[in-house]
């Protein structure tokens, strides 16, 4: 079993930056692939970024490509989402997820693909 805990959310003005963290505990083998999602009120959960430790590729949604960066520190069992040039439309609850369902579909940004989720951290961007 895997436990995920997000932190780092908050309120920021447009153009600002935040770094979200996702601390992973439990079955670290199942958490080799990590992803970040967000969900705004009344909207579907949106995949933002994903990466796997056994691959060099990272995956980004077009809405955040060039502004957000996913990274991980294996020594701390933590995954990060660096968010720059934030916009009011980035306002949402942000979640990390892990343990993609087997067999891998390759849809690393699909919300239905992951077995474990954190509780989320709120990001609010004001204009």
pLDDT tens sequence across 9-55? 999 999 999 999 999 998 877 678 999 999 999 999 999 999 988 77
pLDDT at 7: 98
CA dihedral (55, 61, 66, 68) positive or negative: negative
> Are the C-beta atoms of residues 86 and 18 closer than 8 Å to each other?
yes
Region of poorest pLDDT, from 40-49, 77-86, 95-104, 113-122? 95-104
**Residue with token string 């439309």:** 89
pLDDT at 31: 72
Helix (H) or strand (E) holding 113: none
Average confidence (pLDDT) over 115-124: 97
Average pLDDT, the chain: 94
| Listed residue (107, 76, 80, 73) closest to 94, CA to CA | 80
End-to-end distance of the chain based on CA atoms, in angstroms? Answer: 40
Tokens of 72: 């991980």
């Amino acid at each position: 079993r895997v436990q995920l805990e997000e932190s780092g959310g908050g309120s920021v003005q447009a153009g600002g930056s935040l770094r979200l963290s996702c601390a992973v505990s439990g079955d670290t083998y199942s958490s080799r692939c990590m992803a970040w999602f967000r969900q705004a009120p009344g909207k579907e959960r949106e995949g933002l970024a994903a990466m796997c430790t056994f691959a060099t590729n990272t995956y980004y949604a077009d809405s955040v490509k060039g502004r957000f960066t996913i990274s991980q520190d294996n020594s701390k069992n933590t995954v990060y989402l660096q968010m720059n040039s934030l916009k009011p439309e980035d306002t949402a609850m942000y979640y990390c997820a892990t343990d993609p369902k087997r067999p891998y579909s390759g849809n690393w940004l699909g919300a239905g693909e992951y077995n474990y989720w954190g509780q989320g951290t709120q990001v609010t961007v004001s204009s």
